């Protein structure tokens, strides 16, 4: 069961000027495609049982992956799953409201306090990685992971756990063309392209 790259669920330029079309082309068509290709090569070496899992199920079953294949699976299947998830979370013009907004205010004190915590996790991730808003043990929490690790891998493999409902890619390839070394500006622009409707839907699904 080979993985394939789905088209972006919107036009490449639809996140302008916050995330530019050239970055989206490079990020989706080249970087994400490479994760898909390398995932397929890595998964081919696994048992039939593991090959038959979905990419997400495989990342939740890393205990069953032979140690010498673990890094290739984490980096590539993680990259595929994380990017697929990330694309769905981007849209201009939605609003944080309802049950999700109430939960953010309850668990972080205020929306601004949440944004500060998330931005600090994204800015403070040394090197390449991701910032996440997760539902963790019944509460919202902000965490970050290195490389292509995701909270769905669990504590043993990612150092964190939880069900992701929002993420931000802070690899340089995600922002360097437009923002160069200014990761903080990219993080600031991210708030203009968060698809809060999707985040709310993911949050509701954890209930």
| Binding residues for Mn ion (CB under 5 A) | 169, 171, 174
Helix, strand, coil fractions of the chain, as percent rounded to 5 = 55, 10, 35
- CB-based burial label for 207 (10 Å; 0-12, 13-18, 19+): exposed
CB of 128 to Mn ion, least distance (A): 8
Q: Which is nearer to Mn ion, 107 or 172 (CB)?
A: 172
Q: Which is nearer to Mn ion, 28 or 115 (CB)?
A: 28
CB of 31 to Mn ion, least distance (A): 5
Q: Record the tokens describing residue 36, joined without a space.
A: 């898909």
CB of 85 to Mn ion, least distance (A): 11
CB of 60 to Mn ion, least distance (A): 21
Q: Which is nearer to Mn ion, 171 or 186 (CB)?
A: 171
Contact 89, 9 (CB under 8 A): no
- For 174-188, b where at least 16 C-beta lie within 10 A, e where not — what string? bbebbbeeebeebbe
Q: Which is nearer to Mn ion, 132 or 171 (CB)?
A: 171
Q: What is the rounded CA–CA span in Å between residue 49 and residue 6?
A: 24
Chain residue whose CB lies nearest Mn ion: 169
């Amino acid at each position: 069961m080979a993985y394939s790259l789905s088209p972006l669920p919107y036009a490449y330029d639809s996140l302008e000027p916050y995330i530019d079309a050239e970055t989206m082309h490079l990020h989706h068509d080249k970087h994400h495609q490479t994760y898909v290709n390398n995932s397929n090569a890595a998964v081919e070496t696994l048992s039939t049982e593991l090959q038959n899992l979905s990419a997400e199920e495989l990342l939740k079953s890393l205990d069953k992956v032979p140690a010498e294949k673990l890094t290739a699976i984490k980096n590539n299947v993680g990259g595929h799953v994380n990017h697929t998830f990330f694309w769905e979370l981007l849209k201009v013009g939605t609003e944080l409201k309802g049950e999700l907004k109430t939960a953010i205010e309850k668990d972080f004190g205020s929306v601004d306090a949440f944004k500060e915590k998330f931005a600090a996790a994204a800015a403070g991730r040394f090197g390449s990685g991701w910032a996440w808003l997760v539902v963790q043990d019944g509460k919202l929490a902000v965490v970050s992971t290195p490389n292509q690790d995701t909270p769905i891998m669990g504590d043993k493999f990612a150092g964190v756990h939880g069900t992701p409902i929002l993420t931000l890619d802070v690899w340089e390839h995600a922002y360097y063309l437009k923002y160069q070394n200014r990761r903080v500006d990219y993080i600031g622009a991210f708030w203009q392209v968060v698809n809060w409707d999707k985040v709310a839907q993911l949050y509701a699904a954890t209930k």
